[in-house]
Amino acid sequence: MISRFFRRRINAIVHEIRFNFWPYLFVLPALLILGSFLIYPALSAFRMSFFDWQLLGDSEFVGLDNYLRFWELPNVKTAIFNTLQYTLLNVPGTLFASLFIAILLNQEIRGRAWFRVLFYLPVISSDVAVSLLWKWIYWAGERGLLNNVIGLLGFAPQDWLGDPDLAMPMVVLLTIWKGVGINMLIFLAGLQAIPRDLYESAQVDGASIWGQFRYVTWPLLRPVTLVVALLLTISSLQVFTPIFVMTGGGPANHTLTIAFYIYNTAFRNGLYGFAAAISYILFGFILALTIIQRRIFRDVSF
Amino acid sequence: MNTKRSITYLFTLVLLLVLAINGASLAQNQVTITFQQPWSLDSDRGRVVQSLIDDFMAANPDIVVEIRDTGVNNEVFVTEVLSGDAADVVMFGEDGVVLFAPQDAFLDLSDFVADWDESKRNDFYESVWGFGTFEERQYGIPWIAHSMALIYNRTMFEEAGLDPDAPPTTWEELYSYAEQLTSGEQYGYGLVGLQGHDMAWSWYNFVRQNGGTLATQDGDDWSVALNSPEALEALEFYIRLRDVAPPETTTTGGGEANTLFVQGRVAMYVLGPWAVAGINNEAPDIEVGVAPLPYSMVPATTAGAGLLTVPRTTQNPEAAWRLIDFLTEVENQVKLVSTGFAFRIPTRQSAVQDEWFQEHPEYIPFVEGLSYGYSPIVLDIAREWSVVHNEVVQAELSRAFIGEVSPAEALQSMENSGNLLLNR
């Protein structure tokens, strides 16, 4: 019974490949690359998460130990807390900044294309290069670029990345600047899908600019907003590069995030099993979040 | 086509073939070994390595050495060992040696060392020699090394009315010199305050100079020894140095401290020999002075080494050892570190007598530093210590540095959390 089921499945697959040979051939290179550099490592990390993994020598099978005991690792709670803090700042921050800019750039203004390019430029810049650049902007003391600017306004220089209360918001500010471009683009697409006659009839009914936004733009943008929020949440939970380049998790672990913590656990502390387990917990968390947001998204009427 | 000419061609071809076959049979008496080292062969350093290897092959016609210059990376090395593709001689930092020696990745070289002339063995600085020892067996032979020294700007000393030939030797002098060197946008000391490894080893220097230590052993058990009066004084002094350091010190790592010195923003800082070479390169106008680290009780500095190891998968241990023996000769060590960008120092005491060091006395403090050099890793418990070092010490140090907790509280946490990790 079961074997017949499988035989039928296999026959179906063979049939499928025979009749769609060329398309499958064309996706094969991408499939091979993704398979060896994405899927295979991900699966072997899953296996690793059940072992006290040794680079050389025998790895000991520990069952669910890494999943049940990761809580005992030092700083892991700090990393979770900081990541949530980062997410709570970054998601609304980037979302509203992108929406605002998208609305501005949706108007008939001079040099509109140029502005769109300018806002998009940070997106295609290298994360590492941009982080280094911002590290200099945030440089403490009177020589820092930002300190120079606020100095002109009469404020005292700040230790932007060295002050425990400022460090994380400053990292978020960089990611907002970096992320605005791509999300602005998504919002622009959403804005242009809104029929113009809705605005015309709103104007006829005497709606103000705010009224038009509140009762036309915002509700019609809701699906787009949800997509942006979802993408932002996923990327926020995985933030790594700016932390790695700018703060090293400091000062005093105030910018230690989960992704950076996983990196430390594996590549600095050699606890590969724990690192793999935390990665999968993070994966599960993101997956759950995605499913929930998809549910909400599905219930939205267009 | 001219027949005569074709016959000549044919004849030449046959001759070449015969020669090639001869050559191949000659080569059968040779062994080929691979040497894995970090420098690309088209870099200056890689070319020096190549010329050393050429010398070696000229002196040892029975050995052919192929250089692998893809760098040395832990994960790649593991893959190579597991697939039997590891090189015959590999250069590792002491962190690599203590990571892989317990996992049986290396050949025990103790018997080869025993055959050495005692004068050669005893010429190595004990500190760096110990970097290759695990459970009393020798797995790595220190090839090149580094220690830290006080690097200072002689011109700024003169401008501040200080004698550039009498750099500070004690903590108090260090502080008062730094105070006198601080004025306007110039600061006395390039203090490392960015949470991380550089900040930790910078502070360990002070702990050890004050007679403290990182961890102590009692039977089989290890415990964190940083909650001590010596370490407390060291931490208080470290934080006090903020007064004579630029405001950006909380984001200053080792590399940034070097940049501050090159830019003429700080008058003194602490780093290894590569820094001196770098300053001479980037800012030839700066008159660089180098002095042993100032200390309160005992001289001490962080040190590290590049060690030559033989992976256990080798087919030619004899040939591998002969290469190690050759590379660790004093003149070859000096040749490697001194050509072009002098970035490391030899591991042997007699090296300072070499002509090059007479011409470059600024490197001598680094060599002498090896006589009181320590690894920032507690080598016997390297894996456990690395977690304490990365997760506990660095964070607590940073917390005390920015004033979130008192120095005493930070040390208490280091002890509590650190011991939990060591006894896990």
Phi–psi pair at A36, nearest 5 degrees: -80, -30
How many of the other CB atoms lie within 10 Å of CB of B405?
A: 16
A residues 246..275 contacting B (CB < 8 A):
246-253, 256, 264, 268-271
Which among A57, A74, A250 has the least Cβ separation from residue B421? A74
CA angle centred on A46, ends A43 and A52, rounded to 5°: 135
Q: Can you tell me the distance from the alpha carbon of A109 to that of A131, in angstroms, rounded to the nearest whole number?
A: 31
Q: Can you tell me the distance from the alpha carbon of B410 to that of B397, in angstroms, rounded to the nearest whole number?
A: 7
Of A156-160, A208-212, B420-424, the one with minimum mean pLDDT is: B420-424
Query: Is B35 within 8 Å of B64 (Cβ atoms)?
Result: no
Query: Is A125 within 8 Å of A242 (Cβ atoms)?
Result: no
Contact list, B417 vs chain A (CB under 8 Å): 74
pLDDT surpassing 90 at residue A242: yes
Shortest CA distance to B337 belongs to which of B377, B379, B366? Answer: B366
Q: Closest residue of A to B414, CA-based?
A: A74
CA angle centred on B146, ends B191 and B73, rounded to 5°: 100
| Whether A250 and B194 lie within 8 Å, measured CB to CB | yes
- Alpha carbon dihedral B232, B207, A74, B224, in 10-degree steps, equals -90
| Whether A269 and B390 lie within 8 Å, measured CB to CB | yes
Of A199-203, B159-163, B308-312, the one with minimum mean pLDDT is: A199-203
| Whether B78 and A56 lie within 8 Å, measured CB to CB | yes
CA angle centred on B184, ends B183 and B188, rounded to 5°: 40
> Averaged over B38-58, what is the pLDDT?
92
Of A198-202, A277-281, B152-156, B197-201, the one with minimum mean pLDDT is: A198-202
The confidence score (pLDDT) of residue B166 equals 96
What is residue B233's three-state secondary structure? helix
Mutate which of B82, B98, B191, B195 to disrupt the A interface (most A C-beta within 10 Å)? B195
Shortest CA distance to A178 belongs to which of A294, A69, A94, A112? Answer: A94
The secondary element (H helix, E strand) that includes residue B301 is strand B301-309
| Whether B392 and A74 lie within 8 Å, measured CB to CB | yes
Contact list, A143 vs chain B (CB under 8 Å): 185, 248
- To the nearest whole number, what is the mean pLDDT of chain A? 90
Q: Can you tell me the distance from the alpha carbon of B277 to that of B344, in angstroms, rounded to the nearest whole number?
A: 10
| Whether B417 and A253 lie within 8 Å, measured CB to CB | no
The confidence score (pLDDT) of residue A55 equals 74
Shortest CA distance to B33 belongs to which of B91, B88, B109? Answer: B88
* Those residues with Cβ within 8 angstroms of residue B187's Cβ, 6 or more apart along the chain or in another chain: B178, B181, B244, B245, B246, B260, B265, B266, B267
> Averaged over B358-381, what is the pLDDT?
93
* Those residues with Cβ within 8 angstroms of residue B422's Cβ, 6 or more apart along the chain or in another chain: B215, B221, B222, B223, B224, B381, B384, B385, B388
Q: Can you tell me the distance from the alpha carbon of B350 to that of B331, in angstroms, rounded to the nearest whole number?
A: 10
pLDDT category at A16 given cuts 50, 70, 90 is confident
Residue A244 CA, chain-centre distance (Å), reads: 16
Of A151-165, A288-302, B329-343, the one with minimum mean pLDDT is: A288-302
> Averaged over A248-277, what is the pLDDT?
90
**Percent share of chain B, pLDDT over 90:** 75
pLDDT surpassing 60 at residue A263: yes
pLDDT surpassing 70 at residue B16: no
The confidence score (pLDDT) of residue A302 equals 45
The string of DSSP letters for B22-38 reads HHHHHHTT-EEEEEE-S
Query: Using CB atoms within 10 A of its CB, is residue A141 exposed (0-12), middle (13-18) or buried (19+)?
Result: middle
**Percent share of chain A, pLDDT over 70:** 97
pLDDT in tens, B242-297: 999 999 899 899 999 999 999 999 999 999 999 999 999 899 999 999 999 999 99
Q: Nearest CA of chain A to the CA of B196: how many Å?
A: 7
Q: Nearest CA of chain B to the CA of A141: how many Å?
A: 5
How many of the other CB atoms lie within 10 Å of CB of B180?
A: 16
The confidence score (pLDDT) of residue A141 equals 78
Most confident region among A54-68, A238-252, B229-243 by mean pLDDT: B229-243
Q: Can you tell me the distance from the alpha carbon of B19 to that of B170, in angstroms, rounded to the nearest whole number?
A: 70
pLDDT surpassing 50 at residue A13: yes
User: Which residues are bridge partners to B64 per DSSP?
Assistant: B32
Q: Can you tell me the distance from the alpha carbon of B365 to that of B334, in angstroms, rounded to the nearest whole number?
A: 15
pLDDT in tens, B129-163: 999 999 899 999 999 999 999 999 999 999 999 99
pLDDT in tens, B282-294: 999 999 999 999 9
Q: Can you tell me the distance from the alpha carbon of B247 to that of B249, in angstroms, rounded to the nearest whole number?
A: 5
Shortest CA distance to B33 belongs to which of B49, B51, B52, B53? Answer: B53
> Averaged over A55-69, what is the pLDDT?
86
Of A24-38, A132-146, A235-249, the one with minimum mean pLDDT is: A132-146
Q: Closest residue of A to B76, CA-based?
A: A55
pLDDT surpassing 70 at residue B1: no
CATH classification code of A68-299? 1.10.3720.10
pLDDT category at A5 given cuts 50, 70, 90 is confident
The confidence score (pLDDT) of residue B27 equals 52
Residue, of B401 and B79, whose pLDDT is higher = B401
The confidence score (pLDDT) of residue B19 equals 57
Q: Nearest CA of chain A to the CA of B410: how many Å?
A: 11
The confidence score (pLDDT) of residue B20 equals 59
Full set of structural domains in chain B with CATH: 28-147+304-374 (3.40.190.10), 149-300+378-422 (3.40.190.10)
> Averaged over B219-231, what is the pLDDT?
95
> Averaged over A146-165, what is the pLDDT?
90
Query: Is A170 within 8 Å of A91 (Cβ atoms)?
Result: no
The distance in angstroms from the start CA to the end CA of chain A is: 46
pLDDT category at B25 given cuts 50, 70, 90 is very low
Q: Does A54 touch chain B (CB under 8 A)?
A: yes
* Those residues with Cβ within 8 angstroms of residue B393's Cβ, 6 or more apart along the chain or in another chain: B200, B226, B414, B418
CA angle centred on A17, ends A12 and A23, rounded to 5°: 140
The confidence score (pLDDT) of residue A45 equals 93
Which among A55, A164, A248 has the least Cβ separation from residue B194? A248
Q: Can you tell me the distance from the alpha carbon of B242 to that of A87, in angstroms, rounded to the nearest whole number?
A: 33
Query: Is A92 within 8 Å of A232 (Cβ atoms)?
Result: no
Shortest CA distance to A300 belongs to which of A234, A221, A230? Answer: A221
CA angle centred on B186, ends B183 and B187, rounded to 5°: 90
Query: Is B335 within 8 Å of B343 (Cβ atoms)?
Result: no
The string of DSSP letters for chain A reads -HHHHHHHHHHHHHHHHHHTHHHHHHHHHHHHHHIIIIIHHHHHHHHHTTEE--SSSPPEE-TTHHHHHGGGSTTHHHHHHHHHHHHHHHHHHHHHHHHHHHHHHTS--TTHHHHHHHHHHHHHS-HHHHHHHHHHHT-SSTTSHHHHHHHHTTPPP--TTTSTTTHHHHHHHHHHHHHHHHHHHHHHHHHHTS-HHHHHHHHHTT--HHHHIIIIIHHHTHHHHHHHHHHHHHHHHT--HHIIIIITT-STTTT--HHHHHHIIIIIT--HHHHHHHHHHHHHHHHHHHHHHHHHHHH---
Q: Do strands B89-93 and B301-309 pair parallel, antiparallel, or not at all (unpaired)?
A: antiparallel
> Averaged over A43-50, what is the pLDDT?
94
The confidence score (pLDDT) of residue A178 equals 95
The confidence score (pLDDT) of residue A12 equals 87
Q: Residue type at A237? A: L
Q: Where in chain A is the domain with CATH 1.10.3720.10?
A: 68-299
Phi–psi pair at A96, nearest 5 degrees: -70, -35
Q: What are the distances in angstroms from CA A246 to CA A96, A126, A133, B194, B253?
A: 25, 14, 9, 10, 11
Token duo for residue B37 = 């080292």
User: Which residues are bridge partners to A51 per DSSP?
Assistant: A61
